Structure 1
Amino acid sequence: MDKITTIKERILFYLEIKGIRKESFYRETGMSASNFKGAGLKSDLGIDKVVRILNVYPELNNHLHWLVKGEGVLDLNTHEKESIIEQKEIQSDNILSSFNEEIGDLLANIYAQYNTQDKSLLFIQNQMSKMEKKLESSIVKQSKYLEKILAQVQENATDSKQA
């Protein structure tokens, strides 16, 4: 590799040495790929982003002089055991975080379905209540009509007996 002049180039070099895919790096750090391509590669990397990278790849904390100033050599073997443990902890945290996000999404979906079903049930109950009131009203009207019919039948029966 040619002379590495920017922090971004050194980060890409680190990723290459460690066999870390750029897509994984972008996802884990929340950074955009455009920051590490073309003209973006030559621009400065803000301290907040450097801190974010150091949090995701704590092994680089042992190589700050190389990362920030570009002086010295990136010697990853000196802290290999610590690095492996730290990477496994990070991977575990990432898996746990991913799992928690999936559980959160699942719970949100279940709640949304419950909420929709609850509203549907309320609508159905309301419709049933309206139908029950109409049925009661119809029964009352039917009873009045039947009483009138019976009264007329009795009146006709009385009239025909008299005639």
Structure 2
Amino acid sequence: MDKIQTTKERILIFLEKNNIKKESFYRETGIAASNFKGVGLKSDLGVDKLAKILKVYPDLNDNLMWLITGEGELENNMVVQKEKDHQSGDLYNSDINDKIGDLLANLFAQYNTQDKSLMFLQSQINKIEKKYSKAISEQNKILNEILLATKLSAE
């Protein structure tokens, strides 16, 4: 077998040896197919994407040295894909719903944090505006006193 040059090419070999459809892989990992085609196939696989793949296919952890360096051989200890394909659609939909729920919860938490930050900043702006107005009033008062004193001394 020719030397595999990239981690992405080794992932494709892993998929093929385990009868995993590429479309299933892309769907389950959330990684775009374009990452594994053409020029994208020759580019490096980011750590975040590798982490996603290892989370979805934990058996690849046993093959980590092979996956990253190409050294050694791919050990085939995956659960037979046919069993995975027979999982109910409800399970898949449930997983998607959980992910969407988690995403929405994270977005809501970020919104709340940003909302609280904006409220805090607005209160700080209001305090600064009050101090500024007070300082301007005091400065105007002092300037008027100086003008009045100057007028009186000029007379």
Alignment partner of 1:49 is 2:44:
no
Name the residue aligned to 1:62. 62
| Structure 1 pair 62–100 and aligned structure 2 pair: CA distance change class (3 A) | closer
| Structure 1 pair 42–23 and aligned structure 2 pair: CA distance change class (3 A) | same
**For the residues of structure 2 that align with 1:88 and 1:100, how far apart are their CA atoms?**
17
For structure 2, the residue ranges without an aligned partner over 5 or more in a row are 98-155
Name the residue aligned to 2:93. 98
Shift of 1:96: 2.4
**For the residues of structure 2 that align with 1:30 and 1:40, how far apart are their CA atoms?**
16
| Structure 1 pair 95–44 and aligned structure 2 pair: CA distance change class (3 A) | farther
Q: Report the AA paired with residue 48 of structure 2.
A: D
Q: Which has the higher contact order (CA 8 A, sep 6+)?
A: 2
More helix by proportion, 1 or 2? 1
| Residues 25-58 of structure 1, C-alpha deviations (whole Å, 9 max, x = no match) | 0000001111000000000000000000000000
**For the residues of structure 2 that align with 1:56 and 1:37, how far apart are their CA atoms?**
21
Shift of 1:93: 9.7
| Residues 35-88 of structure 1, C-alpha deviations (whole Å, 9 max, x = no match) | 000000000000000000000000000010000111001121xxx3xx429x96
| Structure 1 pair 93–63 and aligned structure 2 pair: CA distance change class (3 A) | farther
| Residues 125-151 of structure 1, C-alpha deviations (whole Å, 9 max, x = no match) | xxxxxxxxxxxxxxxxxxxxxxxxxxx
CA RMSD of aligned residues (A): 3.0
Name the residue aligned to 1:14. 14
Q: Report the AA paired with residue 30 of structure 2.
A: G
TM-score by length of 1: 0.51
**For the residues of structure 1 that align with 2:95 and 2:63, how far apart are their CA atoms?**
32
| Structure 1 pair 44–15 and aligned structure 2 pair: CA distance change class (3 A) | same
Shift of 1:101: 5.0
Q: Secondary structure at the match of 1:84?
A: coil
Name the residue aligned to 2:40. 40
Give aligned pairs, total.
Answer: 97
Q: Report the AA paired with residue 40 of structure 1.
A: G
Instruction: Map residues 1-163 of structure 1 onto 2, 5 A cutoff.
Output: 2-76=2-76, 80=77, 83-84=78-79, 95-99=90-94, 101=96
**For the residues of structure 2 that align with 1:73 and 1:56, how far apart are their CA atoms?**
21
**For the residues of structure 2 that align with 1:26 and 1:13, how far apart are their CA atoms?**
15
Identity of aligned residues (%): 55
Structure with max Cα Rg? 1
Q: Report the AA paired with residue 84 of structure 1.
A: V
**For the residues of structure 1 that align with 2:9 and 2:25, how far apart are their CA atoms?**
14
